[in-house]
A and B are shown apart, each in its own frame.
Chain A
Amino acid sequence: GENVEQHPSTLSVQEGDSAVIKCTYSDSASNYFPWYKQELGKRPQLIIDIRSNVGEKKDQRIAVTLNKTAKHFSLHITETQPEDSAVYFCAASRWNQGGKLIFGQGTELSVKP
């Protein structure tokens, strides 16, 4: 089955810097890759996603890139702000397996003012 590895497990940046979180997946048939943000004590919330027919997607200060050949995808956050502090999860799924998402272990991002 699918396995998703996420790095780093913790990341500390200064406000205004960029942050990059990387994930690798094992199943070459996976074709959907969402990212979730979870603030302390809250539910995970979808912030951006990408499908395998696209190499990059942007939404304001966040972007996701996908390299299907290498089977890895990354989340990029520019001009970080203290409110970006949270745990971020990547995930992967394939279309013919009931939409079940396999998640990475999470990255705790801390943005210092």
Chain B
Amino acid sequence: QITLKESGPTLVKPTQTLTLTCTFSGFSLTTSGVGVGWIRQPPGQALEWLAVTYWNGDNRYSPLLHSRLTITKDASRNQVVLTMTNMDPVDTATYYCAHRLVYFDWAGLFDYWGQGTPVTVSS
């Protein structure tokens, strides 16, 4: 049974760095074809993909946010960490992590999602 759970601060100040942790179970990030991604959703708005890390060390980022994002994995602890620098009120959103199966290059799917963690950016 695959589960994922996001954790991190619910409130950050503008210009601060956000650090979110995804703790998962039911799979290993050392298994070929497996990845974990981050997706966010501002209140009342659409989903936006942020970043993904794969079993082989390949990390990929949204072109729009690449300069602000870092994704790292600790396969032994079953955790993936996302950091986003220079937070702004427009980054207020629910942040989800999700299990990704990848076939090759970009091709794959998000088949299991965490419940999400809300983050508000405000002074």
Do A and B come together as binding partners? no
Interface residues, chain A, CB within 8 Å of chain B?
none
Interface residues, chain B, CB within 8 Å of chain A?
none
